[in-house]
Amino acid sequence: MLKYDVLIVGAGGGGLMAALEANKNKKVKVGVITKVYPTRSHTGAAQGGINAALANVDPSDSPEVHAFDTVKGSDYLGDQDAIEFMCEEAPKRIYELEHMGVPFSRLPDGRIAQRPFGGAGFPRTCYAADKTGHVMLHTMYEQCLKEGVEFLNEWYVKELLIDNGEAKGVVAIDIRTGEVHVIKAKAIIFATGGYARVYWVRNSNAIGSTGDGIAICYRAGIPVKDIEFVQFHPTGLRSTGILVTEGARGEGGYLINNQGERFMARYAPNKMELAPRDMVARAIETEILEGRGWGEGMNAYVHLDLRHLGAKKIKERLPQIRMLAIDFEGVDPIEEPIPVRPTAHYSMGGIHVEDYKTSMTPVKGVYAVGECACVSVHGANRLGGNSLLDIVVFGKPAGAAAAEYAENMPEDTSYNYAAEEERARKEIEELLKKEGTENINDIRTEMAQTMWDKVGIFREEKPMQEAIEKIKELKERYKNLAPGDSSKLFNTALINYLELGNLLDLAEAIAVTAEMRKESRGAHARRDYPNRDDENFLKHSLAYYTEDGPKVEYTEVRITKYQPQERKY
């Protein structure tokens, strides 16, 4: 049996940062388990940058201003002590990353360059051109290779084993061989990313961002927090949901409906296409709902027209956006408008973290960091540049805390690992033999369509109740779905099957908690309750898994010095 003191599930930025830190404690054995190779993780897709008040560009910036911007951005749902901690730690973590070799873009004097970002009072976002996440991920992986961190690449974690309120290990499948293993671990850190894939095609995430870690913890009895909050980015490509950066509108691109109108004139006559993200996203969605878009259903879209900028400017200033449109949509923006629609982008909610200093969950020895965790520092709405920060700021202490916990934890001799392994192996064998009547694509598409139409950018009581029913029905139909492939080696059909199960559980939790939150806050916009209601809903939702659907409780938001005010920009 494989045995680790600290097992890290997921090898994106959060997982690798935790691994590097845990690995410094030479008394513990650290392993990282990931369903892809580490450099394939979704952290690599983050382009814009990472926030830290280095004050390299504007000396008046400070961690306090950063904290205030984040609290306000969160629509006051973020825990202020955790936010203050994150913003204080931010400069130290940026320097640490730089000392690991991250090739940040530079100012003429050789210091790290910083640029302005939405919702920030100062140019605070450190970047490496348009590939900040990519270079961070690769640099951290390189450091792991240097330090000899042990990786289990292409392994899928299926279950978390808990006994007596303590972590015991995980059940995992070696994707390369198809073998089922129980891995014994004293401390387990989840760093498995978000769940925006519940909206399937209408999302900007990697195909593998299926919220596995969150669903695994949820089913194991750990509550998920604020799961109703999903951030939508206004411009995703029509067919894939891949992001078209804000730069396209920044350079003067127009949003056009099927009447040929620049419709933003109706929603934000002054700012037009450059209004805040959530506002632009709602405007596009309204145009489509009112029949002024092109296409039908999930394939509806409006135009992002860059043609008037001319070939020269497009090639010089927006070369990447042009390549994206050509490669992924088959459209050259010099000749045709780009078909776009909002796209689910980021999961604010996640595994309930009780203590931000260690990232420990209510279960002893189980930790969560990054997008799969909910500390909460992003509250109801995340600011651009704060997600890369989140993973390094919380990844590091989580690694140290998990190592310390494991070091002081005696070896478990009573838990029956062999029985768990036998049970899991039988389950997988049955699955491989199973005959199904459903098609994976049908269930997934119906789930995504339901979530998009009824628990998407605009939310309202009745449609959400319908969505809850629909998801329950889909969960029933899922029982009649089979992986469809019985082979052992690289059976990705089996993995896709298990991932869909995770998404369905999370979709249900999102719909239920969203229906119960009778207010509008940050990314959660209700037509029937258009205002924020601090009296009743300045609190985090906690959803507990039960066979009959989530059981929801609430917990207090921690406020230090920033009293809730109206969020206006």
What is d(CA 414, CA 254) in angstroms, rounded to the nearest whole number? Answer: 65
**Taking the complex as a whole, how short is the minimal distance between the CB of residue 354 and other proteins, in angstroms?**
30
What is d(CA 367, CA 185) in angstroms, rounded to the nearest whole number? Answer: 12
Does 297 sit near other proteins (CB under 8 A)?
no
According to DSSP, the residues that pair with 30 across neighbouring strands are: 6
> For other proteins, which stretch binds (CB under 8 A), given 395-403, 477-485, 522-530, 561-569?
477-485
Residue closer to other proteins, measured from CB, 16 or 467: 16
In the chain, DSSP finds a helix count (H) and a strand count (E) of 16, 21
Is 527 tagged catalytic?
no
> For other proteins, which stretch binds (CB under 8 A), given 238-246, 403-411, 417-425, 450-458?
238-246
Q: List the interface residues with other proteins, window 117-136 (CB under 8 A).
A: 117, 125, 127-131, 134-135
**Taking the complex as a whole, how short is the minimal distance between the CB of residue 383 and other proteins, in angstroms?**
10
**Taking the complex as a whole, how short is the minimal distance between the CB of residue 334 and other proteins, in angstroms?**
13
**Taking the complex as a whole, how short is the minimal distance between the CB of residue 8 and other proteins, in angstroms?**
18
Q: Under a CB-based contact definition with an 8 Å cutoff, are residues 258 and 292 in contact?
A: yes
Q: List the interface residues with other proteins, window 479-498 (CB under 8 A).
A: 483-485, 487-493
Q: What is the 3-state secondary structure (H, E, C) of 280-337?
A: HHHHHHHHHHCCCCECCHHHCEEEEECHHHHHHHHHHHCHHHHHHHHHHHCCCCCCCC
**Per-residue binder mask for other proteins (CB under 8 A), 424-463, x = binder:** ---------------xxx----------------------
What is d(CA 288, CA 282) in angstroms, rounded to the nearest whole number? Answer: 10
Q: List the interface residues with other proteins, window 167-226 (CB under 8 A).
A: 176, 206-208
What is d(CA 296, CA 315) in angstroms, rounded to the nearest whole number? Answer: 32
**Quick check: bond before 376 cis, omega within 30?**
yes
Does 384 sit near other proteins (CB under 8 A)?
yes
**Taking the complex as a whole, how short is the minimal distance between the CB of residue 49 and other proteins, in angstroms?**
7
Does 252 sit near other proteins (CB under 8 A)?
no
Burial per residue of 326-341, b for 16 or more beta-carbon CB atoms within 10 angstroms, e otherwise: eeebebebbeebbbbb
**Taking the complex as a whole, how short is the minimal distance between the CB of residue 12 and other proteins, in angstroms?**
11
**Of the candidate residues 1, 95, 179, 266, the single one contacting other proteins (CB under 8 A):** 95
What is d(CA 520, CA 503) in angstroms, rounded to the nearest whole number? Answer: 24
**Of the candidate residues 24, 310, 319, 418, the single one contacting other proteins (CB under 8 A):** 319
Does 63 sit near other proteins (CB under 8 A)?
no
Q: List the interface residues with other proteins, window 23-52 (CB under 8 A).
A: 36-37, 39-42, 44-49
Q: Which one of 277, 459, 517, 532 is the catalytic residue? A: 277
Does 7 sit near other proteins (CB under 8 A)?
no
Q: Name the residue among 567, 547, 193 with its Cα closest to residue 349.
A: 193
End-to-end CA distance of the chain: 56
| Per-residue tokens: 209 | 């961002």
Residue closer to other proteins, measured from CB, 23 or 513: 23
Does 106 sit near other proteins (CB under 8 A)?
yes
Residue closer to other proteins, measured from CB, 204 or 257: 204
Is the alpha carbon torsion for 423, 429, 433, 438 positive or negative?
positive
Active site residues: 277
